[in-house]
Structure 1
Amino acid sequence: MSDIPVGSPPAPPGRHAAPGGWYPDPLDVNRERYWDGWQWSRNTRESEVPAAYRQGPGAPAGQPSAYAYGPGPALPYASAPVPGVSRQASATADGVPLAGWWWRALAGLVDSLVVGTVSLVATLPFYRELFAAVRTFWGTAMSAARTGAPPPATPNFAAMMSGGDQLLVILVTFAIGMAYHLPFLRVRGATLGMMACGLRVVPQDEGRATGRLPWSTVLIRVLIWVLPGALSLRILTVADVLIPLWHPRRQTLHDLAARTQVVRLR
């Protein structure tokens, strides 16, 4: 790592500072330095930008360029995108690799299977009448198909569960989700799915942090993740899952609200 003062001022008026990520090092165009959206860090790496696209201040006009530098302390400014180079950060500001989307999806799937199985067992008594109606309808439909009789009318399955029972199902599912995620994130910084995939939740831009996450951070993060699922607000859950595919810091909605990131430990 090369020396550069940490704490550069914000971008000059009228210029738009780039989001956090890896940019050409102002001190060495063959390397990249991490910009956290406000200032340069001390973390550098070999440049992933093709040699033809590397350019420092004062390069000839018309030469392909990834970024341009403003006056005064060197700051990264977005310019033409570089072919084949991701604009997403691959590591936290202190150099710890961020979890890839597929690993996060796999960890989420494991957690969903655990919570879903426990929730199904706990709420099974509320579904007895519904299951009995489905079994009766299926048997009648199969019998009609064999004999050539008209198929039976489809009953209103939703009306077979009272509003009170539906509310209890939501509350039980929500409570199980909170009871699963809260202790694991508070004590281990990771759920069972995350631990199985080698992932850990850390404060934003503090990938090397080893302390426990604050209760407020854990509560906000878990609440925003669990509540839409318990209320069957699938569109919010899908949006939450997909946002890391293009977010500069690979954060989800619950990461953004709690100011956390997920790193890969192995």
Structure 2
Amino acid sequence: MACMSDIPVGSPPAPPGRHAAPGGWYPDPLDAARERYWDGWQWSRTTREAELAVAPPPPPPVGAGPGPYGVPPAAAYGVRATGVSRQAATTADGVPLAGWWWRALAGLMDALLVGTVSFLLTLPFYREIVTAVSAYWGEAYRAAQAGSTTPPPTPNFATLITGTDQLLIMLVTFAVGMAYHLPLLRFRSATLGMMACGLRVVPVDEGRSQERLTWSCVLVRALIWVLPGALSLRILTVADVLLPLWHPKRQTLHDLAARTQVVRGR
């Protein structure tokens, strides 16, 4: 059974070079009879009884410096010192983290749902654009029937929607996004896309937690995800989506801000 030890969570020295161990259970450097969880970045407080007898660590290779808590790097991590991912595969209490592709699929499904509702609600703001496009194609069709090779002038779409309309579109998009994410994250710990993909949001390093996320947590998480999309800040959205590919705990920007992780729920 896992338990929480009294040792402070720290960032012990990384092994030589840029490779470290993947997340998992390793011999506790302070107690040979127990195992401690390494999340791919640092030792956690979580320990458990060792499942197998712990063999004494082999002597360090020539030239190798001390590893975490004075244990040689190869022995401390239980893996080769080369070609190893630094990303955790599970939370600190052993629940598998969601893969990037599943998270991307869930996000795409959520974006389609929110985008469809937002488009339908903001459709009246695009009325002049729709009218202008219809008139353009009508003129183009009549010109083609008359044998003309000169297309009609393209309408200036930038002048067909006012600044006020653009602001209202942004506010509607933001409101729909927040109304979608907040209640689902608070009461189900997952959006519809996440539920369809078998994913769940949990507090960081607490994959087995069944408690509801707090309102402050879901508010921060939803705000950092929804606002860049409403403001058309695509670069922030792209950075947010891609960050789990490299982050040691597979967290996005909104995960980091809300202190959450996404796990596989089934």
TM-score (norm 1): 0.80
| CA distance in structure 2 between the aligned counterparts of 1:3 and 1:129, rounded to whole angstroms | 64
2 CA distance for matches of 1:60 and 1:81?
11
Paired position in structure 1 for 2:152: 152
Per the TM alignment, residue 156 of structure 1 is displaced from its structure 2 partner at its CA by 1.6
For residues 1-266 of structure 1, the aligned pairs below 5 Å read 7=7, 10=10, 15=13, 21-22=23-24, 24-25=26-27, 34-36=37-39, 37-39=42-44, 41-42=46-47, 56=57, 58-61=59-62, 68-71=67-70, 82-83=82-83, 85-144=84-143, 147-266=147-266
| Alpha-carbon distance, 1:3 to partner | 9.6
Question: 2: distance between equivalents of 1:247 and 1:11?
Answer: 15
| 1:225 Cα deviation after fit | 0.3
Q: Structure 2 vs 1, CA of residues 61 and 24 (structure 1 numbering), >3 Å: closer, same or farther? A: farther
Matches of 1:237 and 1:131, distance apart in 2: 28
State whether residues 9 and 45 of structure 2, in contact with CA within 8 Å, keep that contact through their aligned partners in structure 1: no
Does the residue aligned with 2:97 lie in a helix, a strand or coil? Answer: coil
Secondary structure at the aligned position of 2:118 is classed as: helix
CA contact (8 A) 1:25 1:44 kept: no
Q: Give the Å deviation of 1:150.
A: 1.4
C-alpha distance in 1, partners of 2:258/2:247?
15
Distance in 1 between residues matched to 2:45 and 2:22, nearest whole Å:
9
Matched AA of 2:27: D
Q: 1:168 to 1:45 in 2, by over 3 A?
A: farther
**Contact in 2 for aligned 1:104/1:194 (Cα 8 Å):** yes
State how far apart, in whole Å, the 2-side matches of 1:45 and 1:157 are. 67
Percent identity over the alignment is: 62
| Greater displacement, 128-137 / 118-127 | 128-137
Q: For the structure 1 residues 26 and 128, does the alpha-carbon distance in structure 2 shift closer, same or farther, using more than 3 Å as the test? A: same
- Distance apart, 1:62 and its partner CA: 7.0
List runs of 5+ in structure 2 lacking aligned partners.
none
| Offset from partner CA, 1:147-198 (integer Å, 9 cap, x none) | 2421223222021001111111111111011001000000000010001111
Q: Gaps spanning 5+ residues in structure 1: where?
A: 47-54
Q: Deviations over 1:107-164 (max 9, x none)?
A: 1111111111111111111111111112222333455456242122322202100111
Please give the alpha-carbon distance, in whole angstroms, between the structure 2 residues aligned to 1:6 and 1:231: 45
Count of equivalent residues = 251
Query: SS state of the match for residue 262, structure 1?
Result: strand
Query: Structure 1 residues 45, 70: closer, same or farther in 2, change over 3 A?
Result: closer
- Given that 1:68 and 1:76 are in contact with CA atoms closer than 8 Å, whether structure 2 keeps it comes out as yes
For 2:60, the aligned partner's letter is A
CA contact (8 A) 2:23 2:86 kept: yes
Residue-by-residue CA offset, 1:16-64 (whole Å, 9 max, x unaligned)? 58798337535799xx852242435326999xxxxxxxx945234279x
Q: TM-score, normalised by structure 2?
A: 0.80
The amino acid across from 1:87 in the alignment is R
- State the Cα RMSD in Å: 3.7
Greater displacement, 120-129 / 154-163: 154-163
Q: Distance in 1 between matches of 2:126 and 2:135?
A: 14
